[in-house]
Chain A
Amino acid sequence: MAVLNNKKSKVSDEVPTSSMADIAFLLLIFFLVTTVFPKDKGLAIVLPEESETVEVNQKNILHIVIQPTGIVEVRRGESQQVQQVSANEIEGIWRQDVASNPNLIAGVKTHPDAPYKFMIDVLDALQTAGADKISLQVLEN
Chain B
Amino acid sequence: MAIKQGGFSRKSKTSDEIPSSSLADIAFLLLIFFMVTTVFRTDQDREITWPSAEATEKIDEKAKNILNIWVERSGGIFINDQPYTMDQVSEVVGPLYAQSDRRLVISIRGDREVPYMTMDQLQKELVSAGVVRVVFATELEQRMTRQRR
Contacts and interface: CB of A to CB of B under 8 A. Distances in A.
A54 to B, nearest CB: 14
Please classify how large the interface on chain B is, using the bins under 10, 10 to 19, 20 to 34, 35 or more: 35 or more
Contact of A44 (B57, B130, B140): B57
Of listed B30, B115, B146, residue having the most chain A CB within 10 A = B115
B53 A124 contact: yes
Band of interface residues on A? 35 or more
Nearest to A49: B132
Interface of B: 20-21, 23-24, 26-28, 30-31, 34-35, 38, 40-41, 51-59, 63, 66, 68, 107-108, 110-120, 123, 126-128, 130-138, 140-141, 146
27 contacts: A18-B21, A20-B24, A21-B20, A24-B24, A24-B31, A40-B137, A41-B59, A42-B59, A44-B135, A47-B131, A47-B134, A66-B116, A110-B116, A110-B120, A112-B115, A115-B113, A116-B51, A116-B110, A117-B113, A119-B116, A120-B112, A123-B53, A123-B136, A124-B53, A124-B54, A127-B53, A138-B120
